[in-house]
A and B are shown apart, each in its own frame.
Chain A
Amino acid sequence: MLEFDKLDKAIHEKGRLAIMTLLATRVSWSFHDLKSELGMSDGNLITHLRTLHKAGFVATTKEVRDRPQTTYSLTKKGRGAFTEYLAVLERIIRAGKR
């Protein structure tokens, strides 16, 4: 149980974990692509992104090309937190096998 307490609460939620996972796969994601890939509502996605942004894990970039577009990417802190989250999960699994 102790290891589970070490999991970052900002990431350890199904929706936010999915967002962090997608952000870890590419340099940046548009709001539209994140929404269609995860099948979340606008409100739900914005709430989760805001939580991750407050934690310092996600950076937001607003661009205006043909139309305004917001893209999201992992910050250095966010990438580190995600890596640590994975490491804790692995430790839990290894401990369970012993």
Chain B
Amino acid sequence: MSDRASAEENLRVIRQLMERVTVYRAVAAPSALVAGILSLLAAGIVYYNNEMHPYLGRTVRPREFAVLWLIVLVIAGLANAYFLRREAEREGRPFVSSGMKLALGAIAPNLLIPAAFTVWFFQTGYLGAQELQLVTVWVAFYGLGLLASSLFAPRSLALLGWAFLLTALATPVLGDLIDRLTDDVPDTIMGLTFGLYHLIYAVAIWSRPDSTRAAQAATE
């Protein structure tokens, strides 16, 4: 190997190693696909039931609405953990890597307010049928969580965070307009954000080359 080729190879190893430890994708493409499909299904079922009443014979009650979305959250979370573990195993990295610790440390504080708000909703919030407020808090803080990881996340994840945050900000401002477009604003917003946005994100990043895999090979 010539001096130049050897120098280039060393620089490539350095660059890829730096990318590997400074870039962490907290939401894998297959997880986003699962979350998107589940969310669209959940939103579709609620919308269909509220319009036609085929399942419950009445509209979905506030606490039932929240429970359904918490179930979607748990399944999507488990799917994300499974796909991240599978990816880590395939690349010979630990599942709980330093990147994951950084991501969790950045994202977790943003989930405290939605968690507290959800508890309040189950205790008294549901009495005022405040699903829209609950949904706005969920969407806003999920977006903030993703943005908090943007220092070491790929750009696509930060864009996803902005999409969530801007939608949450637009919800009270454009409330009347959204209300004219749909009979069920909270359900539509959940379907749009957790459903459609995740699907777009999954499709956008699905076939991108994974620099971490190349980096692993470079240091072996």
Residue B7 at the chain A interface, CB threshold 8 Å: yes
Q: Which of B18, B93, B98 is the most central at the interface, judged by chain A CB atoms within 10 Å of its CB?
A: B98
The tally of residues in A whose CB lies under 8 Å from a CB in B reads 25
A-contacting 9-mer, from B9-17, B108-116, B160-168: B9-17
Between B22, B94, B220, the greatest number of chain A beta carbons within 10 A of the residue's beta carbon is seen for B94
B93 touches A95 (CB 8 A): no
By the criterion CB–CB under 8 Å, are A36 and B93 in contact?
A: yes
A92 in contact with B98 (CB, 8 Å): no
Does A43 make an interface contact (CB < 8 A)?
no
Question: Is B92 interfacial (CB-CB < 8 Å)?
Answer: yes
Q: Is the CB of B92 within 8 A of A39?
A: yes
Q: Judging by beta carbons under 8 Å apart, are B4 and A96 in contact?
A: yes
Q: Is A96 a contact of B92 with CB atoms below 8 Å?
A: no
Assign chain B's interface to a size class. 20 to 34
Q: Residues of A contacting B10 with CB < 8 Å? A: 17, 89
Expressed in whole angstroms, the Cα–Cα distance for A97 and B8 within the complex equals 12
B2 beta carbon closer than 8 Å to chain A: yes
A94, chain B: closest CB distance, angstroms: 9
In the assembled complex, the CB of B56 is this many whole angstroms from the nearest CB of chain A, namely 49
Binary contact readout A85-96 vs B (1 if CB under 8 angstroms, 0 otherwise): 010011011011
Task: Answer whether residue B219 sits at the interface, using C-beta atoms and an 8 A cutoff.
Answer: yes
- Encode B187-220 as 1/0 by CB contact (under 8 A) with A: 0000000000000000000000000000000011
Determine which of B4, B22, B219 lies in contact with A18 in the assembled complex, contact meaning CB atoms within 8 Å: B219
Chain A 46-86: CB-based contact to B (< 8 A → 1; otherwise 0)? 00000000000000000000000000000000000000001
Any B CB within 8 A of the CB of A27: no
Distance, CA A24 to CA B11, complexed state (A): 14
Q: Does B3 contact A (CB under 8 A)?
A: yes
Which chain B residues numbered 1 to 34 have a C-beta less than 8 Å away from chain A? 2-4, 6-8, 10-11, 13-14, 17-18, 20-22
Q: What is the interface of chain B, defined by CB distance below 8 A to chain A?
A: 2-4, 6-8, 10-11, 13-14, 17-18, 20-22, 92-94, 97-98, 219-220
The 6 A-B pairs with the shortest beta carbon distances in the complex, nearest first, are: A96-B4, A92-B7, A36-B94, A89-B7, A33-B98, A21-B17
